[in-house]
A = this chain, B = another copy of it.
Amino acid sequence: MKLTARKVEIVTKASRLFKEKGYSAVSVRDIAQEMGMKAASLYNHIESKQEILSILVLDLARDFTCGIASVRESNISPLEKIEQIIELHIDITVNNSEALAALNNDWMHLEGEDLIDFVKMREDYEEDFRKIIKEGVELGQIQPRHPEVILFSILSTLRTLYLWYQKRGKLDVNVLKKDMVAVLLRGIV
């Protein structure tokens, strides 16, 4: 089914609700009300509630996949690659803070092929990141800590960024990027 303007609107409104209560706690009637229509009318635009989640999560997952592919293939040092990954996450977060909630918390409600695809993309993403970290360690650019600890401490921060970056409101994106790189790479002491 095509992705019409109205469909995008539904997905956007739904993502706001999913962020607040989670996919399962949001009913099709909730989404309809947000759109100012009755539940049954939604089905003129979408195939199912599942489809909304699927669009939301998989589109965003593809953004990450493309983003890290571009980083992986660029001809820079591991440390610079990690810097770019941090900036990638911040950029995506700023533009998709609602959808990111669903990606983080509701991906497990995907079904069939969609679920398989998502998990694969997620694993590949982490593996790409892991390789960059290991390379950095081998080159002596990165401290010889357990790569898994490094990977997930950075990734955890980036993945939950959507929860708080906007709370502080007027924090400029470029300032955020700078502070974030500093804190994640060089620590706080």
Contacts and interface: CB of A to CB of B under 8 A. Distances in A.
Range of interface residues on A (Cβ < 8 Å): 35 or more
Given A21-B24, A143-B186, 15 more contacts: A21-B108, A22-B106, A141-B189, A145-B179, A145-B182, A146-B175, A149-B180, A152-B160, A152-B163, A153-B180, A156-B156, A156-B161, A160-B160, A184-B187, A186-B187
Nearest to A101: B105
A146 B163 CA distance: 17
Contacts of A37: none
Interface of A: 20-25, 79, 105-106, 108-109, 141-143, 145-146, 148-150, 152-154, 156-157, 159-161, 163-164, 168, 171, 175-176, 179-180, 182-189
- 8 closest Cβ pairs, A-B complex: A187-B187, A24-B24, A24-B25, A156-B160, A186-B187, A149-B179, A156-B157, A153-B157
B148 A168 contact: yes
Interface of A is mostly: helix
Number of copies: 2
A161 B156 CA distance: 8
A158 to B, nearest CB: 8
